[in-house]
């Protein structure tokens, strides 16, 4: 399962070109992850591959096309987690790595740490020979326009209420789960703001005993509730099915005033997604080839 963000995503506000571009990208990401799983590969490889596709596509707020800070910079966050052993890696505020999800995986596998930030994470990326990119890759005209609109309107962040965070969850043929999430944050963020995406247990979590979760939405609320871990805990400790756990936790997000969505893969492969907004870019494919790609809430 994959997502490309939730928010005020409506047919009447979406051009045919954007609709088609988003659906094509979601299908490419599903293809990338499915090819790995169909060949007996790991869920970890599958979620990284799917997220890399979405990071490279400017229709989403991750990697190329990331939302811009108030200073017109792209500061990128990402996380990845292996449900088989609960190993995890994440990065926050990175500026030079083309695919932040791959940097997060390098932190998990090639360091003694879980979360690296800003200049240190950028240096770690260079030291480990990951693909680098500059502002000319990350910053696209539409994101500049959104930032200008926000500033002209008084500077309240996230002018369009679109959380274009991307993510993936998977279960492989070995029965293992994995989750990955990547984001540019919110338009107009400042002071080094970090949302839920790179925080293990808030925006990203995977545990073979329960489920794999990737979140998108108003990050401050997801952090306060520890949404990803809370869903997994309800499944593992309370014995709830995945959809019941998702519904309950997202109801708490709404009660606090937050909005957003989640995708979840259960330990048995049971899929669930849920969003509180008019739309969420999303897709899923099963081992028997059934594929769903959708954008709006009536799909």
Q: Choose among 103, 131, 118: nearest CA to 73.
A: 118
Long-range contacts of 144-148 (CB under 8 A, 24+ apart): 144/68, 144/72, 146/67, 146/68, 146/187, 147/68, 147/70, 147/72, 147/187, 147/188
Taking each helix axis from N to C end, the angle separating 227-238 and 242-256, rounded to the nearest 10 degrees, works out to 140
User: What is the rounded CA–CA span in Å between residue 214 and residue 181?
Assistant: 6
User: What is the rounded CA–CA span in Å between residue 33 and residue 53?
Assistant: 10
The per-residue DSSP string of 118-132 comes to: HHHHHHHHHHTT--B
Tokens linked to 218: 């108003």
Catalytic residue flag (residue 165): yes
Instruction: List the catalytic residue out of 96, 102, 165, 181.
Output: 165
Active site residues: 165
């Amino acid at each position: 399962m994959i997502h490309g963000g939730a928010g005020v995503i409506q047919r009447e506000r979406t051009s045919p070109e954007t609709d088609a571009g988003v659906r094509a990208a979601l299908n490419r990401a599903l293809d990338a992850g499915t090819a790995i799983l169909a060949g007996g590969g790991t869920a970890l490889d599958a979620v990284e591959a799917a997220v890399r596709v979405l990071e490279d596509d400017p229709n989403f707020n991750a990697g190329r096309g990331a939302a811009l800070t108030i200073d017109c910079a792209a500061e990128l966050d990402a996380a990845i987690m292996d449900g088989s052993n609960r190993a995890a890696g994440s990065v926050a505020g990175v500026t030079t790595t083309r695919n932040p999800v791959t940097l997060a995986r390098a932190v998990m596998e090639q360091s003694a740490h879980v979360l690296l930030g800003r200049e240190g994470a950028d240096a770690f990326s260079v030291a480990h020979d990951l693909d680098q990119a500059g502002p000319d890759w990350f910053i696209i005209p539409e994101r500049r326009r959104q930032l200008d609109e926000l500033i002209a309107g008084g500077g309240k962040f996230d002018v369009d209420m679109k959380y274009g965070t991307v993510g993936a969850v998977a279960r492989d043929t070995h029965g293992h789960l994995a989750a990955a999430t990547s984001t540019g944050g919110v338009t107009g963020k400042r002071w080094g703001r970090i949302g839920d995406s790179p925080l293990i247990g808030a925006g990203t979590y995977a545990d073979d005993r329960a489920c794999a979760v990737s979140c998108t939405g108003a990050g401050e609320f997801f952090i306060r509730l520890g949404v990803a871990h809370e869903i997994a805990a309800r499944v593992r400790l309370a014995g709830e099915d995945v959809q019941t756990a998702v519904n309950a936790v997202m109801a708490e997000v709404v009660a606090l005033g937050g909005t957003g969505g989640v995708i979840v893969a259960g330990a048995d492969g049971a899929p669930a997604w849920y969003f509180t907004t008019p739309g969420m870019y999303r897709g899923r494919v099963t081992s028997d080839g059934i594929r769903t790609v959708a954008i709006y809430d009536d799909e």
